[in-house]
Amino acid sequence: MDPLPGATGRPGRLHAAVSYAARGWQVFVLGCTKRPVANCEPCAAAGPDHDREACLCLTCHGFYAATVDPDRITAMFAAVPDGLLAIRTGAVSGLTVVDIDPRNGGEFDRALMNPTTTVTTPGGGWHLYYAHPGRSLPGKLHGREGVDIKTDGGLVVAPPSTPAGAARGYRWTSQPRPVNEMAPRLLEACQVRSGLPVPAGTGSARTSSATAVGAGAISHPDALLAATLAAVDRAPQGRRRVTLYGAARGLARMVAADALSTLDAVAALTAAGQRNQQTPRDIRGAIKGGFEAEGLLSPV
Ligand SMILES: [Zn+2]
Ligand SMILES: [Zn+2]
């Protein structure tokens, strides 16, 4: 692996951004205070049907603008010269970052967190860059104050950015390491959610939506999925929205238990909503509400 770039200043950020993109990490710019760059007027005025993922604007919608295209990256830094370089985490970049913030009580637990590519943060903390495990994870490390998990639907500010007012910036640690997979013990700890079963068979990416999971988890995911979707199909007019929302919560729990992929859940819910003539807006609202109610990041 090439050494990770360290030069500071705007040329350093641009150079770093292009080199990250060459690794497949999707990059974008944030304002100098870590806030998202403001949306353009049409995007700011757009309703919930506006497709942020498909929007072609250079810097609108935060991490939805992230790209691996060097020309777009160059244009982003020209448009926001003092912008901070950020990476969209999750499957899109193949990255899951464990974010340890000692200001909130976070501790670097070397017994749990196996060595990997590491960034030191302006707040005296660490970003541990791991390979995305191929499954959704909750946003917090359960039972650990000050440790967040930045994965699907997340972002990290990346070196060599220095936020306005910070005494120092984000820096790669001097010891170059590859981006490793999470050790099974760490992945298992990351998957713990309050009130939800811990799936068995941790440590490898799942391969099929029909994967059987261990005792205490979902034993017949295909049957559960079929029954959930059948309830949507049977829902009478007037009950359709609430039934789709309930189905979204049920499928979100299956995603949480690693019995179903997020993509499959969204596809199944969208198709079910379309079969009973719900609007794209209502379908997205049901999916978003259902996932968030189960403590997951909205996939839409
Ligand atoms: Zn725009
Ligand atoms: Zn837009």
Domain ranges, ordered by start, for the chain: 10-190, 196-293
**How far does residue 50's CA lie from ligand 2's centre (Å)?**
7
Q: What is the pLDDT of residue 292?
A: 84
42 CA → ligand 2 middle, Å: 7
The neighbourhood of ligand 2, an ion, using CB within 5 A, equals 43, 55, 57, 60
User: Cα(300) to centroid of ligand 2, in Å?
Assistant: 14
Amino acid at 258: D
Tens digits of per-residue pLDDT, 150-209? 999 999 999 999 999 999 999 999 776 789 999 999 999 999 875 444 444 443 333 333
Distance 77 CA to ligand 1 centre (A): 16
Ligand nearest to the CA of 51: 2
159 compared with 230, residue with greater pLDDT: 159
- 95-153 pLDDT per residue, tens: 999 999 999 999 999 999 999 999 999 999 999 999 999 988 999 998 899 999 999 99
Q: Could you count the other beta carbons within 10 Å of the beta carbon of residue 4? A: 20
Task: Please count the other Cβ atoms lying within 10 Å of the Cβ belonging to residue 49.
Answer: 9
pLDDT, one tens digit per residue, over 255-283 is: 887 788 888 899 999 999 998 889 999 99
Question: Which residue from 129, 171, 162 is spatially nearest to 23, judged by alpha carbons?
Answer: 129
Q: Write out the two tokens for 232.
A: 């949507």
Phi/psi class of residue 258: alpha, beta or left (left: φ > 0; alpha: ψ in -120 to 50)?
left
Distance 73 CA to ligand 2 centre (A): 17
131 CA distance to ligand 1 middle (Å): 31
The band of 6, judged by pLDDT with boundaries at 50, 70 and 90, is low
- 297 versus 73: the higher-pLDDT residue is 73
Handedness of CA 111, 113, 117, 118 (dihedral sign): negative
Residue 214: pLDDT over 60:
no
Ligand nearest to the Cα of 38, by number: 1
Of the pLDDT bands very low, low, confident and very high (cuts 50, 70, 90), residue 7 is: low
Q: What is the DSSP string of 84-103?
A: EEEEE-BTTTTEEEEEE-GG
User: What is the number of other CB atoms lying within 10 angstroms of the CB of residue 244?
Assistant: 27
> Ligand 2 centroid vs 56 CA: distance in angstroms?
7
Measured in angstroms, how far is the CA atom of residue 81 from the centroid of ligand 1? 18
Name 28's Cβ contacts closer than 8 Å, sequence gap at least 6. Answer: 59, 62, 63, 65, 66, 67, 76, 86, 88, 155
Please give the distance, rounded to the nearest whole angstrom, from the Cα atom of residue 197 to the centre of ligand 2: 38
Return d(Cα 88, Cα 115) in angstroms, integer: 21
190 CA distance to ligand 2 middle (Å): 33
How much distance in Å is there from the Cα of 44 to the middle of ligand 2?
8
How far, in Å, is the centroid of ligand 2 from the Cα of 30?
16
Q: How far is the CA of 245 from the centre of ligand 2 (A)?
A: 26
CA of 233 to the centre of ligand 1 (A): 37
Output the CA 46–ligand 1 centroid distance in Å. 9
